[in-house]
Chains A and B, each alone.
Chain A
Amino acid sequence: MEIDALHMRYGDTVAVDGLSMTVERGTITAVLGPNGAGKTTTLETCEGFRAPQQGTVRVLGLDPTRQRRELLPRIGVMLQSGGAWSGVRAVEMLEHIASLHAHPLPVPMLVERMGLGECGRTPYRRLSGGQQQRLGLAMAIVGRPELVFVDEPTAGMDVAARRTTWDILGELKTDGVTIVLTTHYLEEAERLADQVHVIDHGTLVASGSPFELTRARGQATIRLVVTEPFPPEAPRSLSATLGPATEVQEINPQSLLITGPADASTLAKVSAWCEEQGVLPESLSLGQRTLEDVFLQMTGREFTP
């Protein structure tokens, strides 16, 4: 799948601004980004719901808008929410979607694997959020697609259901299915994805494997939270103290994110600086960079689902 210089706007709002990215077959790709970053618009363009206003999109070698009828049987789509009649029973809905495909998966097997057995006869409107999500994923994969788009697959699921879903996504990949997922759970992206694309304001701000994004530069993250707001020039003065190998970002008036070499000397300099500024650290934590930190560094804001 290839997206090249995609531009999409609604009225005066630019949703996607020159986005380019590639997804390799047989991989799991996670698209991360805050609300309104353009993730859903991008997915919907790949699914053929919207025509690109500028730029090109090719999915499985096809144009998703002009060759939509050819493309649709080959892809599976999981919507973020909804997608069923309110009075339809869970298994009935899955059987209906299966009947639209040529070689669907056996529905009883999928019902069992997705843990939908106990709610199979429940009308859609009475399913829990997690059950609706599991049914949504089941509908996306029942037609044995080559490529699956999943929008927030585990939102609203409990821990056990999330684990089952991760297992199934992993098994799909092993069996040769390409998966593109958007997620709010950074842990999910870190655990599942071969490739992560971070999107903000409609453009790609970072791309790579979770490993490349979090560890490549041998860097660690120090979070410093203090009891009183920092003096105005604090980030700049700390940055000067630590030298050019380190990056300092102000997250809010009482917390800083320091990205740099994970060594004792950095820590010592940070505590010395606190003493000199007369600020009292409330917490000082050192850890491997997580995708959350990458996200923070790239977009300059906390990741809020």
Chain B
Amino acid sequence: MSGTFTPAPGAAPFLRQVRSQASMESRLLLRNGEQLLLAVVIPVLVLVGGVAAADRIGLTFDHRAVDVLTPGVLALAVMSTSFTSLAIATGFERRYGLLKRLGASPLPRTGLLLGKVVSLLGVQVLQTVVIGSTALVLGWQPGGGVTGALVAVVGAILGTLAFASLGLALAGTLRAEATLAAANLVYLLLLTGGGVVLPRSTYGAAGGLLQLLPSAALGDALRAALLDGAVDGSAFLVLLGWALVGSALAARFFKWE
């Protein structure tokens, strides 16, 4: 008779591993108060506050305020999850030896990355539902129809790739505390001055330069899609460029321990 611990080694099927990893990461993110604040509470506050402020101080756009601000806030949500949350979480995973632990498990690195991507997309769906519902209550009328929605999804995925690769490059090189500080600082700078929530036209002369930032590109792409159902080709190119730069940096400099 074989004993309790008789060896029976083997790896679980790859997709089961990825599902398990993604569900674990999503649960941990949603359980973490600060992460939830970043993912849902801040974008909703920015949306509600922005619409109210636009009415109050007479900020005028070439469309209704809620229609201009909602795509921007969705872009902000994508950025907060795929850059800030991912960088902070990964930084601490490195610090607590979790990446090392998983590195000694049957989960391959591609499975770990895929798990993270699936978890990010899952959280982003949740963010879109919450922000979208809030916007609809505020009177949002998305333009662009189905085409616009599809273009926006592609833009959001491209933005996720760009920001996630940059976030991983950051988390894989700095110490966990430095990553925490840098990821929050960059988020704050891009939120206020990065052309993500407000269209670049509101930044005056700096608007042209802002075009090169991934934040403004993601905001532009989602605004063009959700206002007019249009594809902002240059914004897509900028996002693609950042995704390539970020991936190259992460692949070159990411340290697992």
Contacts and interface: CB of A to CB of B under 8 A. Distances in A.
Range of interface residues on chain A?
35 or more
A227 interface: no
B28 A87 contact: yes
B97 A143 contact: no
Interface stretch (A6-14, A66-74, A216-224, A274-282): A66-74
B5 A97 contact: no
A155 to B, nearest CB: 15
A268 interface: no
Contacts of B107: 100
Contacts of B92: 85-86
A73 B5 contact: no
B4 A175 contact: yes
B101 A82 contact: yes
Contact of B20 (A49, A73, A99): A99
Counting chain A CB atoms within 10 Å of each CB, the highest count among B97, B103, B104 belongs to: B104
Contacts of B20: 96, 99-100
Q: Is the interface of B mostly helix, strand, loop or mixed?
A: loop
Contacts of B28: 85, 87-88
A171 B4 contact: yes
A141 interface: yes
Contact of B96 (A69, A85, A96, A102): A85
A171 B5 contact: yes
Interface in A84-101: 84-88, 92, 96-97, 99-101
Nearest to A144: B8
A73 B6 contact: no
A85 B4 contact: no
A139 B97 CA distance: 13
Interface string A40-68: 00000001010000000000000000000
A145 B100 contact: no
Interface in A135-193: 139, 141, 143-146, 171-172, 174-177
Contacts of B16: 99
Interface of B: 2-12, 16-17, 20-21, 24, 28, 31-32, 92-93, 96-98, 100-101, 103-108, 257
Please list the 6 inter-chain residue pairs (A to B) with the smallest Cβ-Cβ separation, ordered nearest first.
A102-B10, A82-B97, A83-B101, A175-B3, A77-B104, A175-B5
Interface of A: 47, 49, 69, 72-75, 77, 79, 81-88, 92, 96-97, 99-103, 105, 109, 139, 141, 143-146, 171-172, 174-177
25 contacts: A49-B257, A69-B108, A73-B106, A79-B100, A79-B101, A82-B101, A84-B98, A85-B93, A86-B92, A99-B17, A100-B20, A101-B11, A101-B105, A102-B10, A102-B11, A105-B4, A139-B101, A141-B5, A145-B7, A145-B9, A171-B5, A175-B5, A175-B6, A176-B3, A177-B5
